[in-house]
């Protein structure tokens, strides 16, 4: 798995389950494989700093296959109960198989040096060379400095900067498996989760069995993802005959949930996904919902521009950095950079603007990202609203509070008039999903010249 992530940019959470099934691992070995994979990826930056100190050379100068084996060994040595001699010997043998005897001698020397000190001692050693408090926090929390600063800014916007370390700890905790029961097609199991009425926790074991047994009417889906989709449905009373669109639908989890709600209210839903492989995943996700749902394969901006004024509700689950799902995609923190934010924001602005043009009068767009980065969230909304006198922002926090089964602590973001909502792993036990609800003016408002 580590080689797949390093060489092909694979996401461990997507490829690991099938690899475990193919290897026919026992439940105990599957749990160990998962911990070794996720744990190593989660703390990659910290482990690289330890390897650099022990090897007296930059990780960039180490053969990639050898480096991955060293990372795996360091995780076993410093963060698991695997016996030190076993971790060293197995890892050295792995390096010998992959890269030869000379590389295995190097790995043996590095790992034996690391094994002589505890994790706390190595942590103190690498932090002593940090050039700033943020660098020390980055090494301690296994987050890049730029991510830490982005998360801090997002919390400051809510007046809750003191929650930063709790958030970083939550990012490094293994998340529970959360399931969704598609409304009208399945009933939530036990234990129920506090907020989304469709959400419940896995009883343990491989959740694929529950998914397969339900025919897809029960699916794995984070509670935060469920909440933002249900908020679009709950933002205003639903009228039979409405037309809905999921503009950036892949891989289809939110689409399936919206489709189930649409089916209950005699609503027509369409979906769109520009990447063919992901479009196939959307169609697969929709098989559990009776009825025909058209799935387009177009650039969302092009599709929306070709359908002006047609839709009553549109979900824009925009492509983003994914910094809100670091619990589930631990490698993403090392793969992304500030340059990705700069590249994504214009696309996010264009998708949201195009979606607003595709709304019928009175229609609502839910702008969603799995990122709390202010540039991708409130920054995009502010940029789009700057030139839109025909659009007003609804109170997404109030809508989520109405949807949720229990009181939910959603802080204001500090902007006057903003009603956006930000979920957090440390506060809500969900991915850090962002939601803004934007409504286009009704015909009466437009004709009277009124600005909402």
CB count in 10 Å sphere of residue 272: 24
CA angle 297, 303, 308 (to 5 degrees): 155
Cβ neighbourhood burial of 202 (10 Å; 0-12, 13-18, 19+): middle
320 is catalytic: no
Classify 179 as helix, strand or coil.
strand
C-alpha dihedral (64, 110, 52, 95), degrees to nearest 10: 10
Instruction: Tell me if 362 sits within 8 A of 442, measured CB to CB.
Output: yes
By the 8 A CB rule, do 260 and 185 touch? yes
173 SS3 class: coil
What is the distance between the alpha carbons of residues 146 and 264, in angstroms, rounded to a whole number? 44
Give yes or no for a contact between 10 and 4, defined as CB atoms under 8 angstroms apart: yes
Three-state DSSP at 294 gives strand
Which are the contacts of 59, defined by CB distance < 8 A and separation ≥ 6?
A: 48, 51, 52, 67
Question: Measured between alpha carbons, how far is 410 from 416 in angstroms, rounded to an integer?
Answer: 16
> Exposed, middle or buried, 214 (CB in 10 Å: 0-12/13-18/19+)?
middle
Active-site residue (options: 54, 186, 370, 410): 370
**CB-CB contact of 319 with 376 (8 Å):** no
Q: What are phi and psi of 334, to 5 degrees?
A: -90, -15
- The answer to whether 3 and 65 are in contact (CB under 8 A) is yes
What are the catalytic residues?
Answer: 370
């Amino acid at each position: 798995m580590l080689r797949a992530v390093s060489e092909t940019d694979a996401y461990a959470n997507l490829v690991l389950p099938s690899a475990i099934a193919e290897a026919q691992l026992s439940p105990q070995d599957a749990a160990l494989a998962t911990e070794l994979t996720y744990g190593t990826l989660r703390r990659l930056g910290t482990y690289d700093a330890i390897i650099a100190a022990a090897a007296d050379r930059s990780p960039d100068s180490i053969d990639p296959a050898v480096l991955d084996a060293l990372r795996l060994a360091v995780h076993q040595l410093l963060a698991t109960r695997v016996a030190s001699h076993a971790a060293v010997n197995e890892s050295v043998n792995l390096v010998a198989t992959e890269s030869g005897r000379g590389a295995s001698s190097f790995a043996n020397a590095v790992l034996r040096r690391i094994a002589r000190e505890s994790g706390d001692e190595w942590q103190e050693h690498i932090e002593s060379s940090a050039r700033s408090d943020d660098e020390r926090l980055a090494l301690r929390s296994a987050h890049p400095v730029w991510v830490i600063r982005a998360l801090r800014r997002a919390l400051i916007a809510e007046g809750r900067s003191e929650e930063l370390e709790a958030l970083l700890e939550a990012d490094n905790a293994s998340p529970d498996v959360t399931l969704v029961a598609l409304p009208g097609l399945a009933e939530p199991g036990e234990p129920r989760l506090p907020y989304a009425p469709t959400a419940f926790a896995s009883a343990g074991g491989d959740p694929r069995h529950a998914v397969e047994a339900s025919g897809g009417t029960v699916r794995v889906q984070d509670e935060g993802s469920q909440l933002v989709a249900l908020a679009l449905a709950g933002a205003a009373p639903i009228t039979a005959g409405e037309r809905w669109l999921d503009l950036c639908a892949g891989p289809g989890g939110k689409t399936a949930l919206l489709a189930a709600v649409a089916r209950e209210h005699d609503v027509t839903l369409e979906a769109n996904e520009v990447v063919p492989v992901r479009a196939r995943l959307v169609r697969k996700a929709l098989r559990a919902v009776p009825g025909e749902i058209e799935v387009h394969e177009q650039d969302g901006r092009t599709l929306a521009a070709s359908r002006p004024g047609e839709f009553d509700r549109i979900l824009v689950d925009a492509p983003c950095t994914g910094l809100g799902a670091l619990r589930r995609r631990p490698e993403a923190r090392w793969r992304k950079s500030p340059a990705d934010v700069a590249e994504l924001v214009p696309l996010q602005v264009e998708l949201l603007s195009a979606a607003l043009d595709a709304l019928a009068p009175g229609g609502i767009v839910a702008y969603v990202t799995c990122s709390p980065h202010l540039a991708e969230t409130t920054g995009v909304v502010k940029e789009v609203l700057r030139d839109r006198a025909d659009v007003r922002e609804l109170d997404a926090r109030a809508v989520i509070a109405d949807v949720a089964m229990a009181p939910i602590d959603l802080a204001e973001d500090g902007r006057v008039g903003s009603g956006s909502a930000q979920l957090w792993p440390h506060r809500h036990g969900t991915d850090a999903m962002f939601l803004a609800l934007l409504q286009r003016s009704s015909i009466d408002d437009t004709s009277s010249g009124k600005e909402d």
